[in-house]
Amino acid sequence: MEEFLFISPFNADVRVASPGRINLIGEHTDYNLGYVLPTAIDKKIYFELKKNGSPSTCNILSETFNSRLSFDLNNFEKSQVTWENYILGVVNEIQKKGKFLQGFDCKINSKLPIGAGISSSAALECGLAAGLNELFDLELTKEEIVILSQAAENNFVGSNCGIMDQYASVMSKKEHLILLDCLSLEAEFIPANFKTCKMLLIDTKVSHSLADGEYNSRRKECETALAIFQKNDTAIQSLRDVNLATLEKYKTQLSEKEYNRVLYVLQENKRVLKGSELLKTGKLEDFGELMYQSHTGLRDLYEVSCPELDFLVNYTKGKNYIYGSRMMGGGFGGCTINIMEESKIEKFSLEVSQAYSAEFGITPDTITVTPGEGTFVERL
């Protein structure tokens, strides 16, 4: 790879490995301050960073895209190139906190599939924030890195994401899942005891109707419904304070869509809490049934699925070696997550790939993942 972008030969001062994440259950509940069950995975974005001696010139090389970005710390604005805004957003949030940065060079190499719904964006944000924290001795805590990275995506990128992706990318523990309360940020680490099973992701390789816009509209619908509840009951702070009785009480004040969105969120929060207890006792079949229920809710009530995702979930049904399947991520594409017997993965992957290709003319990617460690930083 050419080095001409950088001010001097690249000898990194800091290395970072920042993982993608999966979410077993609890989709679209984080920005409603509910519960989620994510973990980092063993697929990561890698960073090399160094100070370059300049007061304010920063140079970024994405080896994955063979793309380059240079900007001045004292004068930059939103880019037309999506991945650049994750970088600029993190720098912007660090400087808003009054932390002092100087010119730096950074190489980025991603081993995460883009658009698969495993949150390459959060891995990019958190990895850079953690690297700059180490490089410039900013003394940011892990929780501050999480919140700062979420703010970068909200404020600079313009995606109104919740806290789950960034939290999982930074805070995860190897071979554990995180039961995360997105209101208090209290977390319980649950051993990922899948016995003879593994998690298989199947990437649809499609993205419909620019998911970010639809994602933001779903959040807006939930916020509109919340405002109606709050007008009637000032004790309600978020949708987690709403129960089914309250929802039915004010149903006539909600649109059908708003009612459905809230109903889904209430049901999904219950599934997360119930599912966490099932995993603690190793009841994978019962947990898998909750995954199927989650997908049905995402498809029918939250309306964020698509024909490709539905096909992949439906294809798993009736196979006794697959315990659960659902769409994962924001929706309208991305991947499904499946809990299944490890011994069957190779054969099933070939079978489902052929069926999906015959249906849609697309060859999906299949990815086996394991629960991994959060963002790792090393000073060289």
**What CATH number is associated with residue 83?**
3.30.230.10
Within a domain: 57: yes
Within a domain: 320: yes
Within a domain: 212: yes
Whether 130 and 243 share a structural domain: no
Whether 176 and 208 share a structural domain: no
pLDDT band at residue 208 under the 50/70/90 scheme: low
pLDDT confidence of residue 4: 44
Is pLDDT of 119 > 80?
Answer: no
User: Which has more confidence, 297 or 216?
Assistant: 297
Whether 274 and 337 share a structural domain: yes
Q: Could you list the residue range(s) of the whole structural domain that residue 243 is in?
A: 197-369
CA angle (112 as vertex; 108, 113 as ends), nearest 5: 125
User: Which has more confidence, 309 or 215?
Assistant: 309
Within a domain: 6: no
pLDDT confidence of residue 298: 98
24-69 pLDDT, tens digit per residue, is 999 999 999 999 999 999 999 999 999 999 999 999 999 887 899 9
Is pLDDT of 339 > 70?
Answer: yes
Give the range among 10-24, 103-117, 136-150 with minimum mean pLDDT. Answer: 103-117
Whether 123 and 208 share a structural domain: no
Within a domain: 133: yes
Is pLDDT of 210 > 60?
Answer: no
Mean pLDDT of 310-332: 96
Question: Is residue 181 annotated as part of the catalytic site, yes or no?
Answer: no
pLDDT confidence of residue 343: 98
pLDDT confidence of residue 101: 98
For the chain, the domain total comes to: 2
Please state, rounded to an integer, the average pLDDT across all residues of the chain: 93
Within a domain: 4: no
CA angle (130 as vertex; 126, 131 as ends), nearest 5: 115
Whether 209 and 165 share a structural domain: no
pLDDT band at residue 82 under the 50/70/90 scheme: confident
Whether 214 and 149 share a structural domain: no
pLDDT confidence of residue 116: 65
Q: Which of 39, 16, 218, 27 is nearest to 125 (CA)?
A: 16
Show the tokens assigned to 158: 């313009």
Q: Which of 22, 23, 27 is nearest to 302 (CA)?
A: 27
CATH code: domain of residue 339: 3.30.70.890
Whether 241 and 167 share a structural domain: no
pLDDT band at residue 7 under the 50/70/90 scheme: low
Whether 82 and 226 share a structural domain: no
- Annotated active-site residue in 30, 105, 165, 203: 165
Q: How far is CA 67 from the centre of its chain?
A: 23
Within a domain: 361: yes
Within a domain: 274: yes
**Could you tell me the sign of the dihedral formed by the alpha carbons of 82, 207, 18, 268, in that order?**
positive
Whether 57 and 134 share a structural domain: yes
Task: Give the whole-number percent of the chain exceeding pLDDT 70.
Answer: 95
Whether 159 and 225 share a structural domain: no
- Which residues 6+ apart lie within 8 Å of 194 measured at CB? 284, 339
Mean pLDDT of 323-349: 96
pLDDT confidence of residue 8: 66
Is pLDDT of 86 > 60?
Answer: yes
User: Which has more confidence, 215 or 30?
Assistant: 30
Mean pLDDT of 143-156: 95
Whether 132 and 230 share a structural domain: no
Is pLDDT of 70 > 70?
Answer: yes
Whether 333 and 219 share a structural domain: yes
Q: How are strands ordered across the β-sheet holding 14-23?
A: 67-72, 57-62, 104-110, 38-51, 14-23, 376-379
Q: Which of 165, 203, 195, 150 is nearest to 341 (CA)?
A: 195
User: Which has more confidence, 210 or 208?
Assistant: 208
Is pLDDT of 1 > 90?
Answer: no
Q: How far apart are CA 175 and CA 373, in angstroms?
A: 8
